[in-house]
Amino acid sequence: MKKCVIWLRKDLRLTDHPGFADAIESGYEIFPVFIWDEGEHRWQDGAASQWWLHHALTDLEGQLKQLGGKLLVHQLCGGDFSAKIVEIIQDYGADVIYWGRRYEPEIIERDKQLKVYLTAQGYEAKSFNTHLLHEPHTIQNKSGSHFKVFTPYWKHCLTRSVDPVIEVTSEEWESVKWGGVESPSSIDDLGLLPKISWDRGFYDCWEPRREAGLARLGEMVKSKAVSYDGRRDIPSVDGTSQLSPYLQWGQISAREVYHAFRDSYNDTVEKGYLRQLFWREFSYHLLFHSPHSPERPLRPEYEGFPWEKNEEYLRAWQKGKTGFPIVDAGMRQLWQTGWMHNRVRMIVGSLLVKHLLQDWREGASWFWDTLVDADLANNTMGWQWIGGCGADASPYFRIFNPIIQGEKFDPDGDYVREYCPELKGVPDKYLHKPWEMPELELLAAGVTLGKTYPQPIISHEKGREKALKAYGEFKETKA
């Protein structure tokens, strides 16, 4: 019986996993392996994402145990990566190694080298699509190039079929022979959980288990999909799927989500949510074809934009102390829960990049470390959109007014009052602009601007003028 290492990465599941399905069909003895490589690449998973990973691995370990298998956990700390993978294969006496493909630029290059090395050593190395509906290299426009704008990409993808979910029967699982060895490390050994308990609020918001993700998916399909377009922009209501961290670590596959909607709804209803799923696909499409994008703008004319480095501005933004309630609520939600509502992500990003003229890469870096759903492709595309320098980007001169945005999307103030409790007593009329409130009313509400709640870090008018001036001067230098 041949022995097969299944190297699990962004595909921490057993269902709809082509590697497991292939190995079972081939009759291999299976060794499920997870490798934590501390020197993996520039964009090593951030602290909040590592928190999720710890629990996702624990959940997967339990699923394997129920089937009679074990999750074999390895730690690597630098050195010759390919040689270390061979050592792992040799330790298990395996002939074959399978893994799910990843799309980060450094990882693509490393995987190519690894496959060549393994083949030269006489091992069978096979990779699979475990993360996306359509891999980036399989989608082309009419001229044979990659898409650079979302809407044509979306319309093209609607004409293509999506592979069905891969099913393995219970009888087939029962027939599996698992590698009967002990794991060299435990999940706890990886040190993925924080040493100080800044993650307390995460446990109130998340269950990083596959079953919890499936329950969210079922709820979305059953009751939220019809109202999705009308509710997804309101941060105070539970109107979005919140499936992104389950998708990020592959606890649920994109195909499972896609087919759950296609099997339940007509085109009109399903496209509201599926459009977001394909936005995720498009972000991977861009990352694959523009591997420089996490570090440099997709629109090269934005190279050298005159960002202003201001640590005071950046810290105030990070801590949710900008003086704009909708922005501060979003940044505090991020810190407390490891997640932020998508509409608010755009608002907080616009303030940082436009009003404060801070580099979009500063925002991307902060989100990368604090989001449980931190995803290099999505994070890069989102911040380049905000910065006006990416595909389908919001023009730089489009500057969100944080006051109007707050009044429009949090009209009753429920969101702001949840995450900025010091403003609970402020009437709706002034909640998104407390600096306009008469002094006596502020005192009655228990608010002292500059002490219990900050003054605006910059006025909207001044920030807007500043952004437009910088953009105008920049255009002149590029003309």
Percent of the chain with pLDDT over 90: 83
CATH number at residue 418: 1.10.579.10
pLDDT at 262: 83
pLDDT at 476: 85
pLDDT at 395: 75
**Does residue 305 sit within a domain?**
yes
pLDDT at 78: 79
Tell me which residue range forms the domain holding 96.
3-130
Paired with 7 in beta bridges are: 33, 99
pLDDT at 266: 60
pLDDT at 267: 60
CATH number at residue 76: 3.40.50.620
With a cut of 50, list the residues of the chain below it in pLDDT: none
Buried b (16+ CB within 10 A) or exposed e, 388-401: bbbbbbbebeebbb
Check whether residue 239 and residue 92 sit in a common domain: no
Question: Residue 338: which residues within 8 A CB-CB, separation 6 or more?
Answer: 48, 51, 52, 199, 201, 202, 205, 206, 370, 371, 372
pLDDT at 110: 92
pLDDT at 249: 98
pLDDT at 95: 94
Check whether residue 426 and residue 277 sit in a common domain: no
Residue type, position 449, single letter: L
Question: Residue 276: which residues within 8 A CB-CB, separation 6 or more?
Answer: none
**Dihedral pair phi/psi, residue 128, rounded to 5°:** -135, 160
Check whether residue 248 and residue 153 sit in a common domain: yes
**Does residue 183 sit within a domain?**
no
Residue type, position 145, single letter: S
Q: Tell me the whole-structure pTM to 2 decimals.
A: 0.95
pLDDT at 268: 52
pLDDT at 271: 65
